[in-house]
Amino acid sequence: MRRSERVFSATERRVAVVALVLTVLVTVLGLTVGQSWSPPSLGPYGTDAYAVAASPGILDARPIMSTPNS
């Protein structure tokens, strides 16, 4: 039988706190490394904007109509 009314023992609480601290440290370290190795975000006009730029000579293209020629 238990002598105290607590749910977790002192050792279990200590292990939980250490696990929480290690989780926070690993997360902060991962975010820091990720920020240092990736290029800065330039917003909507950054490098992603070049991937969707229109091809030259196609700016005034019109869709093909399905009506027969007269």
pLDDT value at residue 6: 84
pLDDT value at residue 5: 79
pLDDT value at residue 10: 93
Using one digit for the tens of pLDDT, what is the confidence trace for 48-68?
555 555 566 665 656 777 666
Using one digit for the tens of pLDDT, what is the confidence trace for 13-53?
999 999 999 999 999 999 888 877 766 666 655 555 555 55
Q: Could you give the C-alpha distances from 30 to 26, 35, 63, 64, in angstroms and in order?
A: 6, 9, 48, 51
pTM here is: 0.49
What end-to-end distance do the CA atoms of the chain give, in Å? Answer: 97
